[in-house]
Amino acid sequence: MLLCLQNVCAAETVEQLRQLAGESDYADGRKTAGWAAREVKRNEQVEAGPRIDTIRNLVRKALMAHPLFVSFAQPKSITRMLVSRYTQGMEYGLHVDDALMGGRRADLSFTLFLSEPDSYQGGELVMESVDGETEIKLAPGEVVVYPTAALHRVAPVTSGERIAVVGWVRSLVRRPDQREILFDLDRACRALFERDGKTAELDLLLKSKANLLRQWAED
């Protein structure tokens, strides 16, 4: 299951992120890819330094303050974040992300789009599944969160420039099916609260959700 999130960053934050990314120095993205992904990775990434530290802090803060992200991902930590740039002719062919990053399990991957979608051609994030391909290209400040277990690629950019922040989340809940149950219950509880207020039935559902999280969370 993948989730697209709107309004993760306020317009001023998007502007600040774009400015920081624009002023940064970039290096060949192959440095951070595993041995197989390196074969198909053609992009550039921001080098270590104060700018990327600021970018990471801004994005971490925005994501952790987004109720839908927290409910969907049950994040324990954001294990890695990179800023990547694709200019004309660049792409990231089909690959799977590393299961462990810095010794921490990666459960979910995300992309925060920073470039206006019509300012570049191509550059869709393409998810592969048994049902076929899903193409994702979002507006600046929007985020897609998807299972790190999935094969995916970034389609070739044929003109313009695509800048994005990509990152990985270690979840408190390892199993995607369990995360999905918690996410569904959370959304149902919130909708019931909106409709009927804090009823006895809502309390029972909230109790079950909390007890399932207690069973499944690895803190």
Ligand X SMILES: O=C(O)CCC(=O)C(=O)O
Q: Are 52 and 74 in contact (CB under 8 A)?
A: no
Angle at alpha carbon of residue 180, lines to 71 and 70, rounded to 5°: 15
Strands (E), the chain: 3-5, 26-28, 41-42, 44-46, 75-86, 91-95, 100-101, 104-105, 108-113, 121-122, 125-129, 132-136, 143-147, 152-154, 157-159, 162-171
Smallest distance from ligand X to CB 147, Å: 12
Smallest distance from Fe ion to CB 109, Å: 6
Smallest distance from ligand X to CB 140, Å: 14
Show the site string, 75-114: x = touches Fe ion by CB under 5 A, - = not: ----------------------x-----------------
Site for ligand X, rule CB under 6 A: 84, 92, 97, 111, 125, 152, 154, 164, 166
166 binds, among ligand X, Fe ion, none (CB under 5 to 8 A by kind): ligand X
Tokens of 12: 């001023």
Annotated binding site: 95, 97, 152, 162
The binding site for Fe ion (CB under 5 A) comprises: 97
Annotated binding site for 2-oxoglutarate: 162
Annotated binding site for Fe cation: 95, 97, 152
